[in-house]
Amino acid sequence: MNKNNLKFKLIAVAVALCVIGSYVIYQAVLFSKAEMETQFALNETVYKTIDTTAFVVRDEKFITNDVKGTTVSFAENGERVARGDTVSMVFASSEDAVSYLKISEIEKSIKHYEELSGQANLQTLNINTLNQKIDSELVDYLESRDNYDYKSAIEYANIYRDSLTGKQIATGEELDFTEELANLKNELAQLQAVKYTYTEIKSNTPGYFISGADGYEKTLDFAKIDELTPEKVEKALKSNPTAVSEDIVGRVVESFKWYIVCSVDTDDTVNLSYNKQIYVNLPYHGIEKLPVTLHKIGDRTGEKTLLILSCDLMNENLADLRLEDVQIITEEYEGYKIPNSAIRTVDGVKGVYVVRGNLLGFRKIHIVYSTDSYTLVDNPDGDSGYIKLYDKVVTKGVELYDNKLV
Distance CA 173, CA 127 (A): 14
Q: Are 327 and 283 in contact (CB under 8 A)?
A: yes
Each residue's pLDDT tens digit, 67-89: 888 888 889 999 999 999 999 99
Dist. CA 68–CA 90, nearest whole Å: 7
Least confident of 69-73, 131-135, 191-195, 360-364: 131-135
Pick the range with the lowest mean pLDDT from 6-10, 107-111, 311-315: 6-10
pLDDT at 123 over 50: no
Task: Give the model's pLDDT for residue 352.
Answer: 95
What is the band of 6 on the pLDDT scale with cuts at 50, 70, 90? low
Highest mean pLDDT among 8-12, 18-22, 28-32, 68-72: 68-72
Better-predicted residue by pLDDT, 197 or 57: 57
Confidence of residue 154 (pLDDT cuts 50, 70, 90): confident
**3-class DSSP assignment, residue 356:** strand
What gap in Å lies between CA 251 and CA 216, rounded to an integer? 12
pLDDT greater at residue 403 or residue 242: 242
Residue-wise pLDDT for 186-218, tens only, equals 988 988 888 888 889 999 999 999 999 999 999
Q: 50 Cβ partners below 8 Å, 6+ apart?
A: 264, 265, 268, 269, 327, 328, 330
Q: Is the pLDDT of residue 338 over 60?
A: yes
150-170 and 94-119 helices cross at what angle (nearest 10)? 30
pLDDT of residue 31: 46
**Residue 11 predicted with pLDDT over 50:** yes
Strands 304-311 and 323-339: unpaired
Q: Is the pLDDT of residue 127 over 80?
A: no
Average pLDDT, the chain: 85
Q: Which pLDDT band, with edges at 50, 70 and 90, does 135 fall under?
A: confident
Higher pLDDT, 327 or 95: 327
Of 40-54, 96-110, 228-242, give the lowest mean pLDDT range: 96-110
Question: CB-based contacts of 296: which residues, under 8 Å, 6+ apart?
Answer: 226, 274, 306, 307, 308
What pLDDT shows up at residue 96? Answer: 87
Banded pLDDT at 162 (limits 50, 70, 90)? confident
pLDDT band at 22; cut points 50, 70, 90: low
pLDDT at residue 384 is higher than 70: yes
Task: Judge contact between 295 and 260, C-beta under 8 A.
Answer: no
Residue 124 has pLDDT above 90, yes or no: no
pLDDT of residue 252 exceeding 90, the answer is yes
From the list 342, 358, 351, 343, the residue with the least C-alpha distance to 387 is 351
